[in-house]
Amino acid sequence: MSSSAVQHDVVRRRRRKRTVNNLDPKRLNIRDIVDLNGPRQPGVSFGAAGIMLDYFCTKTPFPPNSRGFFYYHSRPGLPAGAGEIRFRGVDSLSAYCQSSADELFANGRDILDNTGHKPWRIHMLQVYSARRYDPIRRLLLSQGLIDATRDREIEQRVSAAGLKNIGISTILDTISDTFVIQLPSLALFAAFIHDECIVPASEVAYNLHWRDSPETVEGSDAHWRLYQGAAVVRYELKKAETNKMFYGAKQGEVVLVLRILELLDPAGPDEVPFRLPEGGDLAQGTSPSFYWFMPLDRARKQGIITPSSLKVLEDLYLGDSASTETTFMKSPS
């Protein structure tokens, strides 16, 4: 049988049977391609055991053309528990006959979650806190993507954290990560992975808004316009300034803030687009006259920052090594 016929045969069989024997993006094979189109909860075998996968909820199927590779996405140097399983969508069927698995993966794109703004994923905290994902855990171990020592460390950290329903939460693998939120937001919930511990999801910010300042609204009659949509944000440290935008903070006090780096739904209802200042802007509270901020002692009590994560933020935003380049990092991890 020709190589072209073999690859077409692989595609046909992938539609009928979804089996994943590899999660290593460096060891891809055409036979690793699976097709998630069709059922609301496709059954996928990771190694010898199968699980039912949710896209958003049990009634929501995966997007059209969800055909590609499951793979383990990780970044070096992060604490135990960081990382996730993603799904890399690949080109049309005709491309299979002309491209290698590595080429298909490189030219593909991760499918997005239901918001359309961040990759769909099964986070490692989900894998270790829910028994249903044990087949994924065993496959990661069998391939050496996670060794036995790391496996035990993650299990111990997850057990100590007492995680529940972690899959629906925003999870920061490191305090400096960008992430996506909806604005305005009455309550923001997030979980944190620190060097010292894993902190379960809790309310970590509240009454978040952003509005166009009058001088930035060209062509609009509105004095203030409230932005309503998704935004890319990140935590930063900042010294409270003398302009009284940090209500209740002492002058020069270092506080935790949320910087808005990108507006993902910039079209305004009056057809005048919202525009952030160069370098982004800080999230506001209930009044456009004040920024949202959190004192560091409260951030410590809530587990948002620990000694290790505070050091990360200090180096980025307060230390001599802080670079203006950090202002322009926009993409969610």
Asked if the structure places residue 68 within a domain, the reply is: yes
> Parallel, antiparallel, or unpaired for β 281-282 and 254-263?
antiparallel
pLDDT single digits (tens) 146-205: 999 999 999 999 999 998 878 778 999 999 999 999 999 999 999 999 999 999 999 999
Q: Is the pLDDT of residue 313 over 80?
A: yes
Examine the domain organization and report whether 175 and 157 are in the same domain.
Answer: no
Provide the angle, in degrees to the nearest 10, between the axes of the packed helices 148-161 and 134-142: 150
* Whether residue 9 has pLDDT greater than 90: no
> Is the confidence at residue 11, as pLDDT, over 90?
no
Q: Please report which confidence band the pLDDT of residue 72 belongs to, taking 50, 70 and 90 as the band edges.
A: very high
| Cβ-based neighbour number of residue 203 at 10 Å | 11
Q: Given the DSSP bridges, would you call strands 19-20 and 43-46 parallel, antiparallel or unpaired? A: parallel
Phi and psi (nearest 5°) for 70? -80, 140
Residues 225 and 208 in one domain: yes
Residue-wise pLDDT tens digits, 85-136? 999 999 766 556 678 999 999 999 999 998 899 999 999 999 999 999 999 9
Q: Are residues 154 and 192 in the same domain?
A: no
Asked which of 192-201, 250-259, 312-321 is least confident by mean pLDDT, the reply is 312-321
Sign of the Cα torsion 287, 330, 310, 306 reads: positive
Answer for the pair 80, 125: CB distance below 8 angstroms, yes or no.
Answer: no
Residue 333 maps to a domain:
no
pLDDT of residue 6: 46
One domain for residues 185 and 301: yes
Is the same domain home to 132 and 215? Answer: no
CB 52 within 8 A of CB 24: no
Residue 203 resides in a domain: yes
Q: What is the pLDDT of residue 149?
A: 98
Tally of domains in the chain: 2
Give the lowest-confidence range in 24-33, 47-56, 257-266: 47-56
Taking residues 279-291, report their average pLDDT: 92
φ and ψ of 195, to 5 deg? -60, -35
**Same domain for 93 and 38:** yes
Looking at residue 186, what is its pLDDT? 94
Q: Report yes or no on 279 lying in a domain.
A: yes
Using the 3D structure, point to which of 141, 162, 183 is the last residue of a domain.
162
Q: Is residue 207 part of a domain?
A: yes
Q: Are residues 157 and 174 in the same domain?
A: no
Residue 104 lies in a domain: yes
H/E segment holding residue 228: none
Domain endpoint, select from 113, 137, 162: 162
Considering the entire predicted model, what is its pTM?
0.86
Check whether the bond before 307 is cis (ω within 30° of 0): no
Q: What is the DSSP string of 43-105?
A: EEEETTEEEEPPSSSTT-PPPTT-EEEEEEE--TTPPTT--EEEEEE---HHHHTTS-HHHHH
Question: Tokens 């593909």 belong to which residue?
Answer: 108
- Where a domain ends, among 117, 143, 162? 162
Q: Which domain, by its residues, includes 87?
A: 3-162
Residues 178 and 260 in one domain: yes
Same domain, 156 and 179: no
Q: Provide the pLDDT for residue 56.
A: 82
Residues 11 and 156 in one domain: yes
Q: Give the amino acid at 301.
A: K
Token digits of residue 326: 């950090």
Residues 112, 232 within the same domain = no
Residue 177 belongs to some domain of the structure: yes
List CB contacts of 56: < 8 A, sequence separation 6 or more: 113, 114
Is residue 55 in a domain?
Answer: yes
| 245 shares a domain with 142 | no
Residue 293 has pLDDT above 80, yes or no: yes
